[in-house]
Amino acid sequence: MFLRKTVPTIIASISGVVVVVAYFFQITPIGTLADHILKWRSVIAVFALGLGGVNIIRLHTKNIQRDPKNFYSAALLLTFAITIVVGLTMGQTSAPYTFIFDYINVPTGSAIFSLLAFYIGTAAYRAFRAKNAEAAILLITGCIVMLGRVPIGAKILPFTAPATDWIMSVLNVGGQRGVMIAGAIGFIAVSLRIIVGLERRAYGGE
């Protein structure tokens, strides 16, 4: 109990207070300590990354043990091992390592990102069905904004361009700011509960 809750609570409280004080006050020793705390955070995150790596290896090794034909798990473990070996032995600036990053990692990431364009289409197709009053409003607003955002839309229906500007700068911004302000107040509440040790989930439970 002491090691699992009291010690983390003390560390979190001191770290939280120091970083907040360093933000608002110009006290050199506190500022230096806050910088150190932020660096320690990065170091701790690297240790956690090790835990994550162990989890990946354990999970996919089990998958292969259960089904030796599991191609996906085998491919993941193989690429995982190759990347680590190349990175450790040849360095992160070596040609093989940058090849893996520039010609495998970046393009595959971009491919997943590109799915977003198609998913926007399928989501819009489902959302733009006037099933009830709210959906009808969404449909009408969506149509106005889509027409107002393209030159031909404003040519067909000239009112869509100023209507789009009004929707985006008044309704949209107003709603988003409401969410942001309320979210920020919620952030303060959660942070305060963590600093005083009342946010039990922050320490993994009770």
Based on the shown chain and the rule CB under 8 A, indicate whether residue 103 belongs to the binding site for another protein.
no
Stretch that binds another protein, among 91-99, 114-122, 146-154, 162-170 (CB under 8 A): 114-122
At position 90, the amino acid (one-letter code) is M
**Long-range interactions of 192-201: CB distance < 8 A, separation 24+:** 194/12, 194/16, 195/12, 195/13, 195/16, 195/17, 196/13, 197/5, 197/9, 197/12, 197/13
| Smallest separation (angstroms) from another protein to the CB of 120 | 7
Based on the shown chain and the rule CB under 8 A, indicate whether residue 3 belongs to the binding site for another protein.
no
Residue bearing tokens 């009342």: 198
Cα distances (angstroms) measured from residue 115 to each of 72, 107, 110, 111, 142:
20, 13, 9, 7, 21
Based on the shown chain and the rule CB under 8 A, indicate whether residue 127 belongs to the binding site for another protein.
yes
Out of 126, 133, 151, 156, which residue is the one contacting another protein (CB under 8 A)?
126
Locate 194 and state its tokens. Answer: 């963590």
Out of 1, 2, 26, 29, which residue is the one contacting another protein (CB under 8 A)?
26
Residues at the contact surface with another protein, assessed by CB under 8 A: 20, 23-27, 44-45, 48-53, 55-56, 58-59, 62, 72, 105, 108-110, 112-113, 115-116, 119-120, 122-124, 126-127, 138, 175-176, 179-183, 185-194, 196, 198-199, 201-206
